[in-house]
Amino acid sequence: LRRAFNAQRLIYLRWIDLSGADVTQVVTFLQCCRALQETDRGLALVVCTHRSEENRDQKLLADFVAHTADYRMTIAGLKTGFSATVTGSVEIVDNLESDQSASRLFHFKLSDRQVRVFAPGSVGIRT
């Protein structure tokens, strides 16, 4: 990575799924990537992880990623169970926005070949 930085290139590093990886090694690697980002903004790091309250390692890793992220997207099913109009929620958090995190919440509905995303409470509104 450092050689690519010296060549003045943009680097996009995607880590599709951190689940099951050794937490200590992943945290060390992500800290190194964040340190590189501080010296040169040419690195974009996109990370996906799953969180389970029952799995301590997944919870620790997801919390670490959420804490260090510039932007965070959390996708979750409904906690209350089944709904005919809403499948789940999407929360987008901008940790770069001033001194406090700016959060936006959306709902979504999955169907056979599409995903509808809409503001909470607007499911019945047709445009």
65 and 103 belong to one structural domain: no
Residue 42 token pair: 């040419």
For residue 126, is it within any domain? no
31 and 56 belong to one structural domain: yes
pLDDT category at 87 given cuts 50, 70, 90 is very high
Domain count, the chain: 2
Strands 88-94 and 71-77: antiparallel
Cα 45 from Cα 51, distance rounded (Å): 19
For residue 107, is it within any domain? yes
13 and 24 belong to one structural domain: yes
21 and 42 belong to one structural domain: yes
Express each pLDDT in 32-85 by its tens digit.
888 888 776 677 888 888 888 888 888 888 888 888 888 888 999 888 888 888
User: What average pLDDT does range 86-112 have in this prediction?
Assistant: 85
Cα 123 from Cα 110, distance rounded (Å): 13
28 and 65 belong to one structural domain: yes
How much is the pLDDT for 89? 93
For residue 125, is it within any domain? no
How much is the pLDDT for 15? 78
